[in-house]
Amino acid sequence: MEFLTWLDHTFPRDFFDENVAQRALRHLGYHEKWGLFSEDYAVQRGAEGHWYECLVYEIMLDLSLQTDLIRSVVRKGNDMQEPHIATHPGQNGFFYSEKGNLTVRGNGQTIAEMDLLFVDNLGNMGFFEVITSAMGLKTFHEEVCYKKMLLGTLLGQKTVPFVLVSSVDVSQYASVQRIAEEPDCLVLITNPVEEMRDLIYEGSLRRRPERPGPHQKAVGLTPFRPQNSFDYKEVHDGNRERVVWAMLSARTDDGMEAIASVVNPLSKKIMLGTLDESGVRTMLRDRGVRIKDAVLSADDVVGCFCRVVIAFDIPAYTPVIYFKVRGKDEYLKIVLDAGGDLAFESSRTPAHTMAGFYEWLDAEKPSLHPRIAERYASLFFTRREAHPITGASSGPAGEARSPPA
C-alpha cells in the first residue's frame, strides 16, 4: 500500500522536535500535565502514555501537509469542535467521548476506541494504536482485527489501513508479529517515551498553550456516517437466538465450535438472558463464587442477589456473569480468574461512564431454561477434578446476607 510505504519511510523514529512536543501538551488536563513529573510511577506512566498518543496525533497533522497520500486526519482531544453527546441506548456509529477520544458506539455502548483516525488518498479510513508498554498484548491481534472488520463493515471498505506506533520494542511479541503479517498493517517503533519526555520541562507546563489555527486537512468525527445499515442491538439479538438454539441442539462433543460457527463477530458480548433459582443452582452445582474474602455457594447467590444475567465475551469466548445486588442499582461482574475459579472483578452502576451499558444490562431479558445454564457451565467453565465447593461460603450455606462491601 503506497501510503503505508511512504509513512514507513517518513515517520520520525528519533523524535526531538520541542515545538511539536510542547504542542501535544495542550490535549492534557492540568493534573495530567503535572503527572508527567509525578513521583508516583503509575501516575507518571499514565500521563506519559496519553502525551505520547497526542504527540503522534500532532506528528500526523504535520505529515499530512507533506503528501497527497493523506486526505484527512480526524480531530481529537482539545481539537474536538462538536459537542459531546451523552450515551443512551439506540446510538450506533461514530461519537466523541467526553475527553475527545474517537469511539464507535453500538446501542449506546463504546464497542471500539481508536487512538487516531485518518483517511488515505483512496478514501479508505484507517486507524492508529499508540502504546508505551508491552502490557496487554496477549489479545492485541484480536482487538486490531475486530476494529479493522468493524470499520470495514460500517464504511463498506475492503481495505482498512492500520498503524501501530510503539515507544518500546514489541517486535518480538507473537501478537505484534501476527499484526505485521496482516495485509495493510504497519508497525513503527520510536525512541523511548522517556527520552522524548525530556523535551518537556516543568517551566513549560506553566505556559498557556496556543491553539493552532485551522488545519486544512483536519476534519471532525461525527460527520462520518455508516454507509451500511448498523443496528448493534439487532446484531446482538440475532446472535443470541442462534447461540441459544445451538446450545440446545448441538451435541456435547461439538464444543465451542458449534457456538462460534453461528456468531456474527460484530458483537463484542452476547447476553444470553437471566437465570431463575433453578438455573443458578444448575450452573453452580459444583462450584462457588469468590467475592473478595468470601466464597458463595449457589444458595448464597440466590439469597444475596435478585437477578443473574449470563453472557460471554467475543472473540475470547470467555464467560461473564452479572449478579444484581438486592435493593441497589448495582451489578457485580463475575469472571473466571487465572486459576479457573469464578470471582468478582468489578461493579456496574448507572454512572455516566457506563450508563449505556448499564441500561442495556438492566433491561428485560429472556428467562433461560436450566438446560441452558447446564450447557453454559459445561462450555465455559473449567472442568473440575477436585471436590465441589458448593456451600463453602464464609457463612452457612443458604444464609441470606449482603455481599461483601
Average pLDDT over residues 198-220: 81
> Quick one: pLDDT at residue 90?
87
Tens digits of per-residue pLDDT, 345-357? 999 998 877 888 8
User: What Å distances lie between residue 334 and 237, 296, 305, 340, CA to CA?
Assistant: 22, 12, 13, 12
* 21-35, 238-252, 386-400: the lowest-pLDDT one: 386-400
User: What Å distances lie between residue 390 and 121, 173, 291, 292, 296, CA to CA?
Assistant: 61, 40, 14, 17, 8
d(CA 171, CA 58): 24
Q: 41-75: string of b/e by CB count within 10 Å (b at 16+)?
A: eebbbbbbbbbbbbbbbbbbbebbeeeebbbbbbb
> Quick one: pLDDT at residue 385?
43
Confidence tier at 383 by pLDDT (50, 70, 90): low
> Quick one: pLDDT at residue 249?
84
Tens digits of per-residue pLDDT, 286-317? 889 999 889 999 999 999 999 999 999 998 89
d(CA 300, CA 398): 5
Q: Where are the domains of the chain?
A: 2-219, 232-380
Tens digits of per-residue pLDDT, 245-266? 998 886 656 778 888 899 998 9
